[in-house]
Chain A
Amino acid sequence: MLEVEELEVRYGAIRAVRGISLRVASGELVALVGANGAGKSSTLMCIAGALKAAAGSVHLDGEDITSGKPETIVRRGIATVPETRDVFPDLTVDENLMLGSYIRRGDGKGVAEDRARMLSLFPRLAERAAQPAGTLSGGEQQMLVIARAMMSRPKVLLLDEPSLGLAPVIVDQIFEMIAVLKKTGVTILLVEQNVGKALSVADRAYVMRLGRIAASGTAAEIGAQTDLSALYLGA
Protein backbone atom coordinates (compact mmCIF):
# COMPACT_ATOMS: atom_id res chain seq x y z
CA MET A 1 0.00 0.00 0.00
CA LEU A 2 2.70 2.43 1.00
CA GLU A 3 5.91 2.31 -1.03
CA VAL A 4 8.98 4.36 -0.33
CA GLU A 5 11.81 4.21 -2.88
CA GLU A 6 15.31 5.58 -2.42
CA LEU A 7 14.06 8.42 -0.31
CA GLU A 8 16.48 11.20 0.54
CA VAL A 9 15.84 14.02 2.97
CA ARG A 10 18.25 16.89 3.47
CA TYR A 11 18.59 19.64 6.03
CA GLY A 12 20.64 22.09 4.06
CA ALA A 13 23.83 20.23 3.26
CA ILE A 14 23.23 17.45 5.76
CA ARG A 15 21.67 14.27 4.45
CA ALA A 16 19.45 12.93 7.22
CA VAL A 17 17.95 10.19 5.08
CA ARG A 18 20.28 8.75 2.48
CA GLY A 19 18.22 6.70 0.12
CA ILE A 20 15.95 4.30 1.94
CA SER A 21 13.30 2.01 0.58
CA LEU A 22 10.51 0.40 2.53
CA ARG A 23 7.12 -1.13 1.98
CA VAL A 24 4.03 -1.34 4.12
CA ALA A 25 1.30 -3.67 2.98
CA SER A 26 -2.37 -3.05 3.65
CA GLY A 27 -3.33 -3.87 7.22
CA GLU A 28 0.28 -4.36 8.33
CA LEU A 29 1.95 -2.69 11.26
CA VAL A 30 5.53 -1.98 10.27
CA ALA A 31 8.00 -0.63 12.79
CA LEU A 32 10.89 1.65 11.91
CA VAL A 33 13.43 1.45 14.69
CA GLY A 34 16.86 2.87 15.27
CA ALA A 35 18.86 5.14 17.51
CA ASN A 36 18.40 8.84 17.93
CA GLY A 37 19.36 10.74 14.82
CA ALA A 38 19.04 7.74 12.54
CA GLY A 39 16.61 9.58 10.32
CA LYS A 40 13.40 7.81 11.28
CA SER A 41 11.34 10.88 12.09
CA SER A 42 12.66 12.67 9.04
CA THR A 43 11.46 9.77 6.92
CA LEU A 44 8.04 9.89 8.50
CA MET A 45 7.73 13.64 8.21
CA CYS A 46 8.72 13.46 4.58
CA ILE A 47 6.00 10.91 3.87
CA ALA A 48 3.58 13.17 5.73
CA GLY A 49 4.47 16.08 3.49
CA ALA A 50 5.98 18.24 6.19
CA LEU A 51 9.50 17.80 4.82
CA LYS A 52 10.62 17.94 1.23
CA ALA A 53 12.11 14.87 -0.41
CA ALA A 54 15.48 15.67 -1.94
CA ALA A 55 15.32 12.49 -4.00
CA GLY A 56 13.32 9.29 -4.28
CA SER A 57 9.61 8.72 -4.21
CA VAL A 58 6.64 7.83 -2.05
CA HIS A 59 3.65 6.00 -3.50
CA LEU A 60 0.31 5.28 -1.93
CA ASP A 61 -1.67 2.57 -3.72
CA GLY A 62 0.36 3.34 -6.81
CA GLU A 63 -0.22 7.09 -6.67
CA ASP A 64 2.81 9.32 -6.41
CA ILE A 65 2.53 11.48 -3.30
CA THR A 66 6.18 12.44 -2.97
CA SER A 67 5.72 16.15 -3.31
CA GLY A 68 2.37 16.39 -1.60
CA LYS A 69 1.64 19.17 0.84
CA PRO A 70 0.43 18.16 4.31
CA GLU A 71 -3.16 19.13 3.48
CA THR A 72 -3.25 16.90 0.41
CA ILE A 73 -1.46 13.96 2.03
CA VAL A 74 -4.11 13.68 4.68
CA ARG A 75 -6.83 13.86 2.06
CA ARG A 76 -5.25 10.88 0.31
CA GLY A 77 -5.71 8.91 3.50
CA ILE A 78 -2.48 9.24 5.46
CA ALA A 79 -2.85 10.61 8.98
CA THR A 80 0.22 11.66 10.93
CA VAL A 81 0.92 11.83 14.64
CA PRO A 82 4.17 13.78 15.00
CA GLU A 83 6.74 13.20 17.68
CA THR A 84 5.96 16.50 19.29
CA ARG A 85 2.47 15.38 20.10
CA ASP A 86 1.09 18.81 19.08
CA VAL A 87 -2.27 18.94 20.73
CA PHE A 88 -3.90 22.34 20.40
CA PRO A 89 -3.62 23.21 24.08
CA ASP A 90 -6.30 25.90 24.25
CA LEU A 91 -8.88 23.90 22.35
CA THR A 92 -10.88 21.32 24.23
CA VAL A 93 -10.44 17.60 23.69
CA ASP A 94 -13.65 17.62 21.67
CA GLU A 95 -12.49 20.53 19.54
CA ASN A 96 -9.20 18.75 18.90
CA LEU A 97 -11.08 15.65 17.79
CA MET A 98 -13.35 17.76 15.61
CA LEU A 99 -10.33 19.15 13.84
CA GLY A 100 -9.12 15.63 13.26
CA SER A 101 -12.19 15.06 11.15
CA TYR A 102 -11.80 18.35 9.28
CA ILE A 103 -11.58 16.69 5.90
CA ARG A 104 -14.82 14.86 6.58
CA ARG A 105 -16.67 17.77 8.10
CA GLY A 106 -19.57 17.46 5.71
CA ASP A 107 -20.39 13.99 7.00
CA GLY A 108 -21.96 14.92 10.34
CA LYS A 109 -23.28 11.48 11.09
CA GLY A 110 -20.05 9.70 10.25
CA VAL A 111 -18.04 12.13 12.33
CA ALA A 112 -20.34 11.66 15.31
CA GLU A 113 -19.99 7.88 14.98
CA ASP A 114 -16.23 8.13 14.86
CA ARG A 115 -16.16 10.43 17.85
CA ALA A 116 -18.24 7.98 19.84
CA ARG A 117 -15.99 5.13 18.75
CA MET A 118 -12.80 6.97 19.69
CA LEU A 119 -14.15 7.99 23.06
CA SER A 120 -15.17 4.43 23.85
CA LEU A 121 -11.74 3.26 22.79
CA PHE A 122 -10.06 5.89 24.93
CA PRO A 123 -12.33 6.26 27.97
CA ARG A 124 -9.93 8.66 29.65
CA LEU A 125 -10.57 11.12 26.84
CA ALA A 126 -14.32 10.75 27.23
CA GLU A 127 -13.98 11.86 30.84
CA ARG A 128 -12.11 14.96 29.79
CA ALA A 129 -13.98 15.83 26.63
CA ALA A 130 -14.67 19.44 27.56
CA GLN A 131 -11.28 20.18 29.10
CA PRO A 132 -8.61 22.20 27.32
CA ALA A 133 -6.16 19.75 25.80
CA GLY A 134 -3.27 21.51 27.44
CA THR A 135 -4.42 20.32 30.86
CA LEU A 136 -4.11 16.64 29.97
CA SER A 137 -1.21 14.51 31.09
CA GLY A 138 1.42 13.37 28.61
CA GLY A 139 -0.13 9.95 28.19
CA GLU A 140 -3.62 11.38 27.73
CA GLN A 141 -2.31 13.83 25.16
CA GLN A 142 -0.73 10.98 23.26
CA MET A 143 -4.05 9.17 23.26
CA LEU A 144 -5.74 12.35 22.08
CA VAL A 145 -3.45 12.87 19.13
CA ILE A 146 -3.80 9.26 18.06
CA ALA A 147 -7.60 9.47 18.36
CA ARG A 148 -7.54 12.79 16.53
CA ALA A 149 -5.57 11.27 13.68
CA MET A 150 -8.01 8.37 13.46
CA MET A 151 -10.93 10.77 13.12
CA SER A 152 -10.06 11.28 9.48
CA ARG A 153 -10.65 7.56 8.81
CA PRO A 154 -7.17 7.18 7.36
CA LYS A 155 -5.95 4.24 5.34
CA VAL A 156 -2.48 4.70 6.78
CA LEU A 157 -1.49 5.96 10.20
CA LEU A 158 2.01 7.36 10.71
CA LEU A 159 3.04 7.28 14.36
CA ASP A 160 6.21 9.07 15.42
CA GLU A 161 7.66 7.94 18.75
CA PRO A 162 4.43 7.53 20.71
CA SER A 163 6.30 6.33 23.79
CA LEU A 164 8.52 9.39 24.04
CA GLY A 165 8.67 10.84 27.50
CA LEU A 166 6.02 8.61 28.96
CA ALA A 167 6.14 6.34 32.01
CA PRO A 168 6.36 2.60 31.26
CA VAL A 169 2.86 1.90 32.57
CA ILE A 170 1.40 4.52 30.26
CA VAL A 171 3.50 3.24 27.37
CA ASP A 172 1.96 -0.19 27.88
CA GLN A 173 -1.51 1.32 27.71
CA ILE A 174 -0.69 3.25 24.55
CA PHE A 175 0.62 0.16 22.86
CA GLU A 176 -2.46 -1.78 23.86
CA MET A 177 -4.46 0.91 22.07
CA ILE A 178 -2.21 0.64 19.05
CA ALA A 179 -2.79 -3.10 18.94
CA VAL A 180 -6.54 -2.52 19.09
CA LEU A 181 -6.32 0.03 16.29
CA LYS A 182 -4.39 -2.46 14.18
CA LYS A 183 -7.28 -4.87 14.52
CA THR A 184 -9.61 -2.30 12.97
CA GLY A 185 -7.66 -2.77 9.76
CA VAL A 186 -5.75 0.49 9.52
CA THR A 187 -2.24 0.25 8.12
CA ILE A 188 0.38 1.60 10.52
CA LEU A 189 3.96 2.78 10.10
CA LEU A 190 5.41 3.12 13.55
CA VAL A 191 8.63 4.94 14.34
CA GLU A 192 9.97 4.01 17.77
CA GLN A 193 13.09 4.08 19.87
CA ASN A 194 11.59 1.56 22.27
CA VAL A 195 12.41 -1.50 20.20
CA GLY A 196 10.83 -4.01 22.56
CA LYS A 197 7.40 -2.41 22.55
CA ALA A 198 7.57 -1.72 18.83
CA LEU A 199 8.33 -5.34 17.97
CA SER A 200 5.59 -6.54 20.29
CA VAL A 201 2.92 -5.04 18.04
CA ALA A 202 4.65 -5.05 14.67
CA ASP A 203 4.36 -7.56 11.84
CA ARG A 204 7.61 -6.45 10.23
CA ALA A 205 10.36 -4.03 11.07
CA TYR A 206 13.16 -2.03 9.50
CA VAL A 207 16.22 -0.92 11.40
CA MET A 208 17.66 2.44 10.43
CA ARG A 209 21.14 3.62 11.13
CA LEU A 210 22.69 6.89 10.05
CA GLY A 211 20.11 7.52 7.37
CA ARG A 212 20.09 4.06 5.83
CA ILE A 213 18.24 0.80 6.32
CA ALA A 214 20.59 -1.51 8.15
CA ALA A 215 18.29 -4.50 8.47
CA SER A 216 14.76 -5.60 7.73
CA GLY A 217 12.57 -8.60 8.32
CA THR A 218 9.68 -9.91 10.36
CA ALA A 219 9.38 -8.73 13.91
CA ALA A 220 10.52 -12.10 15.15
CA GLU A 221 13.60 -12.07 12.93
CA ILE A 222 14.64 -8.61 13.99
CA GLY A 223 13.95 -9.36 17.61
CA ALA A 224 16.14 -12.43 17.46
CA GLN A 225 19.14 -10.60 16.07
CA THR A 226 21.71 -10.51 18.81
CA ASP A 227 23.69 -7.74 17.28
CA LEU A 228 20.83 -5.28 17.46
CA SER A 229 22.81 -3.15 19.85
CA ALA A 230 25.66 -3.16 17.39
CA LEU A 231 23.30 -1.92 14.75
CA TYR A 232 22.22 0.83 17.10
CA LEU A 233 25.59 1.91 18.33
CA GLY A 234 27.72 0.97 15.35
CA ALA A 235 30.14 -1.94 15.26
Chain B
Amino acid sequence: MTFAIQFLIDVLSLGGAYALMALGLVIVYGILRLVNFAYGELIMVAGYSMFLVGGSGLPWLIMAMVAVGMAVLAGIATDYIAFRPVRAKSVTAVLITSFAFSTLLQNAALLFISPRPQTVPLPDLFSETVTIGGAITPLRNLITIAAAVILLALFALLMRRTVLGIAMRAAATNFTMARMLGVPANLIISSAFAISGFLAGVVGLLWIGRIGTVVPGIGLEPLLVAFIATVIGGMRSLSGAVVGGFLLALIDTTLNYTLPQDLLKFRDAFTFSLVILILLWRPEGLVKGPASGQRT
Protein backbone atom coordinates (compact mmCIF):
# COMPACT_ATOMS: atom_id res chain seq x y z
CA MET B 1 0.00 0.00 0.00
CA THR B 2 2.77 2.39 0.93
CA PHE B 3 4.54 1.52 -2.24
CA ALA B 4 1.45 2.18 -4.33
CA ILE B 5 0.96 5.58 -2.74
CA GLN B 6 4.59 6.47 -3.23
CA PHE B 7 4.37 5.41 -6.85
CA LEU B 8 1.16 7.34 -7.36
CA ILE B 9 2.55 10.53 -5.86
CA ASP B 10 5.68 10.23 -7.95
CA VAL B 11 3.76 9.70 -11.15
CA LEU B 12 1.26 12.46 -10.44
CA SER B 13 3.82 15.06 -9.46
CA LEU B 14 6.13 14.22 -12.31
CA GLY B 15 3.18 13.93 -14.67
CA GLY B 16 1.84 17.28 -13.56
CA ALA B 17 5.18 18.93 -14.22
CA TYR B 18 5.55 17.20 -17.57
CA ALA B 19 2.00 18.09 -18.59
CA LEU B 20 2.61 21.77 -17.85
CA MET B 21 5.85 21.69 -19.79
CA ALA B 22 4.15 20.08 -22.75
CA LEU B 23 1.22 22.47 -22.64
CA GLY B 24 3.51 25.47 -22.74
CA LEU B 25 5.04 24.15 -25.93
CA VAL B 26 1.85 23.04 -27.64
CA ILE B 27 0.04 26.30 -27.13
CA VAL B 28 2.46 27.94 -29.53
CA TYR B 29 2.68 24.99 -31.86
CA GLY B 30 -1.07 24.56 -32.05
CA ILE B 31 -1.61 28.06 -33.35
CA LEU B 32 1.47 28.65 -35.39
CA ARG B 33 2.46 25.16 -36.45
CA LEU B 34 5.88 26.25 -35.36
CA VAL B 35 8.12 24.51 -32.87
CA ASN B 36 9.78 26.75 -30.32
CA PHE B 37 13.27 25.42 -29.65
CA ALA B 38 13.95 28.23 -27.27
CA TYR B 39 11.20 27.02 -24.96
CA GLY B 40 13.59 25.39 -22.50
CA GLU B 41 15.36 28.69 -22.15
CA LEU B 42 12.21 30.26 -20.72
CA ILE B 43 12.78 27.98 -17.75
CA MET B 44 16.42 29.03 -17.70
CA VAL B 45 15.36 32.68 -17.66
CA ALA B 46 13.04 32.02 -14.72
CA GLY B 47 15.87 30.28 -12.89
CA TYR B 48 18.45 32.97 -13.48
CA SER B 49 15.95 35.69 -12.58
CA MET B 50 15.44 33.97 -9.25
CA PHE B 51 19.19 33.83 -8.83
CA LEU B 52 19.60 37.50 -9.65
CA VAL B 53 16.86 38.70 -7.28
CA GLY B 54 17.88 36.11 -4.73
CA GLY B 55 19.87 38.52 -2.64
CA SER B 56 17.21 41.19 -2.50
CA GLY B 57 15.54 40.02 0.68
CA LEU B 58 12.07 40.07 -0.82
CA PRO B 59 9.59 37.41 0.18
CA TRP B 60 9.95 34.33 -1.95
CA LEU B 61 6.54 34.64 -3.55
CA ILE B 62 7.39 38.10 -4.85
CA MET B 63 10.67 36.86 -6.26
CA ALA B 64 8.84 33.97 -7.87
CA MET B 65 6.42 36.37 -9.49
CA VAL B 66 9.32 38.40 -10.86
CA ALA B 67 10.90 35.24 -12.23
CA VAL B 68 7.69 34.11 -13.90
CA GLY B 69 7.20 37.61 -15.24
CA MET B 70 10.65 37.49 -16.78
CA ALA B 71 9.81 34.17 -18.40
CA VAL B 72 6.67 35.73 -19.88
CA LEU B 73 8.73 38.60 -21.27
CA ALA B 74 11.28 36.18 -22.65
CA GLY B 75 8.47 34.27 -24.33
CA ILE B 76 7.18 37.40 -26.01
CA ALA B 77 10.73 38.35 -26.97
CA THR B 78 11.13 34.95 -28.63
CA ASP B 79 8.14 35.79 -30.79
CA TYR B 80 9.51 39.15 -31.85
CA ILE B 81 13.09 38.04 -32.43
CA ALA B 82 12.92 34.47 -33.64
CA PHE B 83 9.43 34.00 -35.03
CA ARG B 84 7.87 37.13 -36.43
CA PRO B 85 10.63 38.04 -38.87
CA VAL B 86 10.64 34.58 -40.44
CA ARG B 87 7.14 33.25 -39.86
CA ALA B 88 6.03 33.69 -43.41
CA LYS B 89 9.18 32.24 -44.92
CA SER B 90 9.19 28.56 -44.03
CA VAL B 91 8.59 26.12 -41.22
CA THR B 92 12.22 25.03 -41.24
CA ALA B 93 13.43 28.62 -41.03
CA VAL B 94 11.55 29.12 -37.80
CA LEU B 95 12.83 25.90 -36.31
CA ILE B 96 16.34 27.04 -36.97
CA THR B 97 15.89 30.61 -35.77
CA SER B 98 14.40 29.37 -32.54
CA PHE B 99 17.30 26.93 -32.20
CA ALA B 100 19.70 29.78 -32.82
CA PHE B 101 17.86 31.95 -30.30
CA SER B 102 18.10 29.13 -27.77
CA THR B 103 21.87 28.93 -28.31
CA LEU B 104 22.05 32.70 -28.03
CA LEU B 105 20.26 32.77 -24.70
CA GLN B 106 22.26 29.90 -23.24
CA ASN B 107 25.55 31.42 -24.24
CA ALA B 108 24.47 34.82 -22.99
CA ALA B 109 23.91 33.24 -19.59
CA LEU B 110 27.27 31.53 -19.96
CA LEU B 111 29.05 34.71 -20.86
CA PHE B 112 27.32 37.29 -18.74
CA ILE B 113 26.60 35.28 -15.62
CA SER B 114 28.66 32.14 -15.30
CA PRO B 115 29.07 28.59 -16.57
CA ARG B 116 29.00 27.37 -13.00
CA PRO B 117 25.77 26.36 -11.29
CA GLN B 118 24.20 29.22 -9.38
CA THR B 119 22.07 28.79 -6.29
CA VAL B 120 18.42 29.60 -6.53
CA PRO B 121 16.52 30.64 -3.39
CA LEU B 122 13.84 28.15 -2.45
CA PRO B 123 11.15 28.38 0.18
CA ASP B 124 11.61 26.00 3.08
CA LEU B 125 8.19 24.74 2.23
CA PHE B 126 9.62 22.89 -0.72
CA SER B 127 11.82 20.55 1.20
CA GLU B 128 9.60 19.88 4.18
CA THR B 129 8.46 16.32 4.05
CA VAL B 130 5.00 14.96 4.46
CA THR B 131 3.88 11.44 5.25
CA ILE B 132 0.86 10.03 3.50
CA GLY B 133 -0.24 6.49 4.18
CA GLY B 134 3.29 5.52 5.05
CA ALA B 135 4.89 7.17 2.03
CA ILE B 136 7.30 10.01 2.70
CA THR B 137 7.48 12.72 0.10
CA PRO B 138 8.71 16.30 -0.08
CA LEU B 139 5.90 18.83 0.16
CA ARG B 140 7.15 20.16 -3.14
CA ASN B 141 5.70 17.16 -4.94
CA LEU B 142 2.27 17.87 -3.52
CA ILE B 143 2.61 21.52 -4.42
CA THR B 144 3.48 20.47 -7.95
CA ILE B 145 0.39 18.30 -8.19
CA ALA B 146 -1.76 21.12 -6.85
CA ALA B 147 -0.18 23.66 -9.19
CA ALA B 148 -0.68 21.37 -12.15
CA VAL B 149 -4.32 20.76 -11.34
CA ILE B 150 -5.03 24.44 -10.80
CA LEU B 151 -3.17 25.62 -13.88
CA LEU B 152 -4.65 22.96 -16.13
CA ALA B 153 -8.12 23.81 -14.90
CA LEU B 154 -7.53 27.54 -15.39
CA PHE B 155 -6.16 26.87 -18.83
CA ALA B 156 -9.13 24.74 -19.83
CA LEU B 157 -11.40 27.50 -18.57
CA LEU B 158 -9.50 30.07 -20.56
CA MET B 159 -9.70 28.04 -23.72
CA ARG B 160 -13.36 27.18 -23.44
CA ARG B 161 -15.05 30.12 -21.80
CA THR B 162 -13.23 33.28 -22.70
CA VAL B 163 -13.33 35.09 -26.01
CA LEU B 164 -9.53 35.05 -26.12
CA GLY B 165 -9.47 31.33 -25.61
CA ILE B 166 -12.05 30.66 -28.27
CA ALA B 167 -10.23 32.98 -30.63
CA MET B 168 -7.00 31.12 -29.93
CA ARG B 169 -8.62 27.76 -30.60
CA ALA B 170 -10.04 29.16 -33.82
CA ALA B 171 -6.67 30.59 -34.81
CA ALA B 172 -5.14 27.17 -34.15
CA THR B 173 -7.56 25.53 -36.53
CA ASN B 174 -7.61 28.09 -39.28
CA PHE B 175 -5.49 31.13 -38.83
CA THR B 176 -6.54 32.95 -41.99
CA MET B 177 -10.25 32.50 -41.37
CA ALA B 178 -9.86 33.77 -37.83
CA ARG B 179 -8.20 36.87 -39.19
CA MET B 180 -11.04 37.35 -41.65
CA LEU B 181 -13.40 37.56 -38.69
CA GLY B 182 -11.33 40.33 -37.24
CA VAL B 183 -9.34 38.29 -34.76
CA PRO B 184 -6.10 40.21 -34.42
CA ALA B 185 -3.44 37.76 -35.49
CA ASN B 186 -0.51 39.30 -33.74
CA LEU B 187 -2.32 39.70 -30.46
CA ILE B 188 -3.30 36.06 -30.50
CA ILE B 189 0.23 35.01 -31.15
CA SER B 190 1.72 37.24 -28.46
CA SER B 191 -0.85 35.91 -26.01
CA ALA B 192 0.13 32.38 -26.88
CA PHE B 193 3.78 33.15 -26.24
CA ALA B 194 2.95 34.94 -23.03
CA ILE B 195 0.95 31.99 -21.74
CA SER B 196 3.74 29.70 -22.85
CA GLY B 197 6.18 31.81 -20.85
CA PHE B 198 3.89 31.79 -17.84
CA LEU B 199 3.58 28.01 -17.82
CA ALA B 200 7.32 27.63 -18.38
CA GLY B 201 8.04 30.01 -15.54
CA VAL B 202 5.84 28.22 -13.04
CA VAL B 203 6.89 24.71 -13.95
CA GLY B 204 10.47 25.95 -14.18
CA LEU B 205 10.50 27.07 -10.56
CA LEU B 206 9.01 23.77 -9.44
CA TRP B 207 11.50 21.88 -11.56
CA ILE B 208 14.53 23.82 -10.40
CA GLY B 209 13.20 23.31 -6.90
CA ARG B 210 14.30 19.70 -7.12
CA ILE B 211 17.97 20.56 -7.36
CA GLY B 212 18.22 24.12 -6.16
CA THR B 213 20.69 25.37 -8.73
CA VAL B 214 20.52 26.71 -12.26
CA VAL B 215 22.95 26.20 -15.14
CA PRO B 216 22.73 27.50 -18.71
CA GLY B 217 21.71 24.11 -20.00
CA ILE B 218 18.88 23.59 -17.52
CA GLY B 219 16.23 24.00 -20.13
CA LEU B 220 17.28 21.00 -22.18
CA GLU B 221 15.58 18.30 -20.18
CA PRO B 222 12.23 20.10 -19.89
CA LEU B 223 12.44 20.88 -23.59
CA LEU B 224 12.89 17.23 -24.41
CA VAL B 225 10.06 16.28 -22.10
CA ALA B 226 7.79 18.84 -23.70
CA PHE B 227 8.82 17.66 -27.14
CA ILE B 228 8.26 14.01 -26.49
CA ALA B 229 5.03 14.47 -24.57
CA THR B 230 3.72 16.62 -27.39
CA VAL B 231 4.70 14.17 -30.08
CA ILE B 232 3.12 11.19 -28.31
CA GLY B 233 0.10 13.26 -27.54
CA GLY B 234 -0.38 14.23 -31.15
CA MET B 235 1.28 17.57 -31.81
CA ARG B 236 -1.85 19.66 -32.31
CA SER B 237 -3.97 18.68 -29.39
CA LEU B 238 -3.86 20.51 -26.08
CA SER B 239 -5.35 17.59 -24.21
CA GLY B 240 -2.97 15.33 -26.08
CA ALA B 241 -0.01 17.21 -24.63
CA VAL B 242 -1.37 16.69 -21.14
CA VAL B 243 -2.00 13.00 -21.78
CA GLY B 244 1.45 12.71 -23.30
CA GLY B 245 2.99 14.36 -20.25
CA PHE B 246 1.37 11.97 -17.82
CA LEU B 247 2.14 8.97 -19.97
CA LEU B 248 5.80 9.96 -20.20
CA ALA B 249 5.90 10.42 -16.44
CA LEU B 250 4.36 7.00 -16.01
CA ILE B 251 6.97 5.42 -18.27
CA ASP B 252 9.84 7.27 -16.59
CA THR B 253 8.70 6.46 -13.06
CA THR B 254 8.05 2.83 -13.91
CA LEU B 255 11.49 2.50 -15.41
CA ASN B 256 12.96 4.24 -12.38
CA TYR B 257 11.38 1.65 -10.14
CA THR B 258 12.00 -1.41 -12.27
CA LEU B 259 15.28 -1.06 -14.11
CA PRO B 260 18.21 -2.84 -12.52
CA GLN B 261 20.85 -0.54 -11.10
CA ASP B 262 23.33 -0.74 -13.91
CA LEU B 263 20.75 -0.06 -16.58
CA LEU B 264 19.23 2.88 -14.74
CA LYS B 265 21.57 5.40 -16.32
CA PHE B 266 20.18 4.36 -19.70
CA ARG B 267 16.70 5.25 -18.57
CA ASP B 268 16.31 8.12 -20.97
CA ALA B 269 17.45 5.97 -23.86
CA PHE B 270 14.79 3.40 -22.93
CA THR B 271 12.11 6.03 -22.55
CA PHE B 272 12.76 7.55 -25.91
CA SER B 273 13.06 4.21 -27.61
CA LEU B 274 9.65 3.35 -26.22
CA VAL B 275 8.39 6.61 -27.58
CA ILE B 276 9.81 5.82 -30.99
CA LEU B 277 7.94 2.53 -30.84
CA ILE B 278 4.72 4.32 -29.94
CA LEU B 279 5.28 6.54 -32.94
CA LEU B 280 5.88 3.55 -35.14
CA TRP B 281 2.47 2.27 -34.15
CA ARG B 282 0.72 5.63 -34.26
CA PRO B 283 2.60 8.30 -36.22
CA GLU B 284 -0.08 10.92 -35.63
CA GLY B 285 0.12 10.59 -31.89
CA LEU B 286 -2.31 9.15 -29.42
CA VAL B 287 -4.93 11.86 -29.18
CA LYS B 288 -6.74 13.18 -32.19
CA GLY B 289 -6.16 16.86 -32.64
CA PRO B 290 -8.40 19.47 -34.24
CA ALA B 291 -9.49 18.26 -37.63
CA SER B 292 -7.42 19.78 -40.33
CA GLY B 293 -7.08 17.12 -42.96
CA GLN B 294 -3.69 18.22 -44.13
CA ARG B 295 -0.15 17.30 -43.24
CA THR B 296 0.76 18.68 -39.86
Contact = CB atoms under 8 A, between A and B. Distances in A.
Interface stretch (B84-92, B122-130, B161-169, B225-233): B161-169
Contacts of B178: 88, 99
Contacts of B290: 89-90
B237 to A, nearest CB: 10
A102 B183 contact: yes
Contact of A98 (B163, B180, B291): B163
B177 interface: yes
B184 A71 contact: yes
A99 B169 CA distance: 11
B174 interface: yes
B214 to A, nearest CB: 39
B210 interface: no
B241 to A, nearest CB: 15
Please indicate which of the listed interface residues B167, B180, B185 has the most CB atoms of chain A within 10 Å of its own CB. B180
Nearest to A94: B166
Interface in A79-111: 80, 82, 86, 88-91, 95, 98-100, 102-103, 105
Interface residues of B, number: 19
A71 B176 contact: no
Given A70-B176, A82-B177, A98-B163, A90 B291 contact: yes
B181 A95 contact: no
A108 B180 CA distance: 21
Given A91-B169, A99-B167, A102-B167, A86 B183 contact: no
A148 interface: yes
B43 to A, nearest CB: 30
Please indicate which of the listed interface residues B174, B177, B183, B185 has the most CB atoms of chain A within 10 Å of its own CB. B177
Contacts of A43: none
B213 interface: no
A98 B179 contact: no
A134 B169 CA distance: 14
Interface residues of A, number: 26
Interface string A191-229: 000000000000000000000000000000000000000
Contact of A152 (B166, B179, B181, B291): B181
A86 B169 contact: no
Nearest to A152: B182
A124 interface: no
B6 interface: no
A70 B179 contact: yes
Given A98-B163, A99-B166, A89 B180 contact: no
B170 A99 contact: yes
Contacts of B181: 74, 99-100, 102-103, 148, 152
A50 B177 CA distance: 9
A129 to B, nearest CB: 15
A152 B248 CA distance: 44
Contacts of B118: none
Interface string A179-196: 000000000000000000
Given A102-B163, A102-B167, A152-B182, 12 more contacts: A86-B174, A88-B170, A89-B290, A90-B291, A91-B170, A95-B166, A99-B181, A99-B183, A102-B182, A103-B181, A105-B163, A148-B181
